[in-house]
Structure 1
Amino acid sequence: MESLGAFLKSRRDRVTPVEVGLRTFGTARRVPGLRREELAQLAGVSAGYYTRLEQGLAETASKQVLDALARVLLLDRIETVHLHNLARQSANTRLSRPPVEEPHPRVLALLESLRDTTPAVVLGRRGDVLAWNRTGHALMAEHIPFDAPEDPADRPSVPRMFFLDPLSRDLHHNWDELARIHVAYLRLTAGRFPTDARLAELIGELTMRSDEFARLWAVGEVADCTVGTMHLRHPTVGAVSVDYQVWLQPDSPDHRVELYTPTDPSSADALRILTHHLRDR
């Protein structure tokens, strides 16, 4: 998991004096980005207070201070949300194991209403597949048993599939782009749920078992994952490109429904073939 101080330092290192209007007069600098005292001055706080904040020694930071730091550090909206999430964490907070996640009946009713016409997957807060319809399963992971999400101990994990399953990796033609987004979203999730022991274990496992995950995690990107495009090399229907969009669930705000729609006529044909293939089984 990430601390407020580590996030502040990583973002401070990325901002050059020129970007925030400081003149350096050509003098050599020992830090890649802003100095602590420069950031503090621009944000309107004392250098001592900011230093304590970055070192984890300050007890609290007001919304005004955090917003001022976000402004100077050129954070976008999602990075600013992450900054506030980290600031709410307590240094003495202990990890705990949250209850097993279950999809809400209304979400399952939505899957039923979609039937097999639109691929759909229900994801938990850590990217576990809580449910999917037949087409969603066939599109994203036909090598995994359809009923796998029914057993909480055996549920497919999208982050694990993405970084540890060669078949899942081969499926995604734009794997590099999607991998970066997955890691950035997982970091945002870690800031929202700092006490989730299962989430901490997942991040630790991926860091140990995947050099690519460890490299991307060290970069420190933060991003939401709500819309995008996946270019797939599907083993049954060949090349297919789909746009994904995420629907958040008011009854279960930690859960997401991902829907996949074709981006072009040939991809629409591929999805129809996939649907017919399922019906012919």
Structure 2
Amino acid sequence: MSFAAVVVSYNRLPLLKKCLTALEKQSHPLDEIIVIDNGSTDGSADYIRTTHPEVTLFETSTNLGGAGGFAWGIELALARGHEAAWLMDDDAEPELDAAAPLIDSFQSQDLKPAFIASLVTAGRGKFNKRNPPVVSTDPQHQVRAADYGGFAIQTATFVGVMINLEEASRTHLPMADYFIWMDDSEYTHRLSDSRFAMLLPDSMVNHPDNKPISNDMGERLFYFTRNRLWYTRSRTSAISTDILEIIGVALHAIKQFPIAASKKTWFSSVTRGFWCGFFQQPRKVMPGELIATLPDAERKRLGI
């Protein structure tokens, strides 16, 4: 099998340097590292060209958000003939032995899983509570996962999840309209709906413990509200679960009001978030459609 790492980066050069160094020093070498630069203005693209010429660099020229960046990353990994892609943001720092368990597990299973996720940590062996997976309730899946030293899950974050590109080729790409938040939950849930997925604790990826969403979210409250509603509408779940989720979104919006620096921004974000979440749908783009928009010269440079 052929394994690629896909990193989405935007204006975080110091963190990107750590991420690329960790990827290049993996105990089990990766076949390719693909970086999607989301229109960075901090010299990230120039740094990659001069310091990591072996990395495949694709520049979007504008910030497409994590969702749009990972859509391009999966598109390129498919087009370049890989069979699995290890997805992460530029602030992820894999342990140097993190790829090996994922690759070994993929290669050992006859029926390849939809994805195998790394354990997101805040330092080696320390669970990062900000990035919990959603554990599968299917007992047969749990038994199978235990046979391979892991546990079955339904969703994972784009912080070290290795996806089966054969399975990814059968469904639409991560939806760029999500921009930030919930795009990874929606995408991995969609993949695990059709096939077994698991997490391997032996594979660890460090991730900063960022500011909690209980802080003033400002305009980002719009994406939080809209995207959670989009995800709730799209996933396979019980109606009672969906109702509780909607109530939770509303309660979170209410809790944001007293700490919002701008009440006008709060009102706009909440009203737009609920309107778009209930009455709009994100666009769906199938693999191959993004590549078709590239000029011939860019396709030739990328080897596709």
Q: Tell me which protein shows more helix as a share of its residues.
A: 1
Global fold match (TM > 0.5): no
Q: TM-score, normalised on structure 1?
A: 0.27
More strand per residue = 2
Taking CA–CA contacts closer than 8 Å with sequence separation of 6 or more, which of the two structures ends up with the larger relative contact order? Answer: 2
TM-score (norm 2): 0.25
Kindly name which structure, 1 or 2, has the bigger radius of gyration based on alpha carbons.
Answer: 1
